[in-house]
Amino acid sequence: MPVISRFLGIVIAMYWNDHAPPHFHAKYGEHEIKVFLNDGEVEGSFPRRALKHVLEWYELHREELLVNWQLCERNEAPNPIEPLE
């Protein structure tokens, strides 16, 4: 599971050759969510503040995430993405 970003205790990752639709995984403590790249829909639960940060980061880096999804589909290492500041 390649980690592509870390910020504020949140770890963002994508799995190689994961199932469609395109998405990424975010972990925060014992919480985990999946965020779909096409529409930002969230599956799972996160504390409200952490979720707000993840969705803000997603909006800033959506194009980079789509590129990384394509890389992971080919079992190639995704590019690191700047953390939320």
Show the domain range for 65: 3-73
Calculate Rg over the CA atoms of the chain: 12
Question: Per-block average pLDDT, block size 10, for the chain (85 residues)?
Answer: 94 91 97 97 97 98 96 93 94
**Residue 82 forms part of a structural domain:** no
For the full predicted model, state whether its pTM sits above 0.85. yes
Predicted pLDDT of residue 48: 97
In a 10 Å sphere around its CB, with 0-12 CB exposed, 13-18 middle and 19+ buried, how is residue 73 labelled? Answer: middle
**Residue 26 forms part of a structural domain:** yes
Q: What domain count does the chain have?
A: 1
**Residue 20 forms part of a structural domain:** yes
Of 18, 3, 7, 24, residue with least CA distance to 80 = 3
**Residue 85 forms part of a structural domain:** no
**Residue 80 forms part of a structural domain:** no
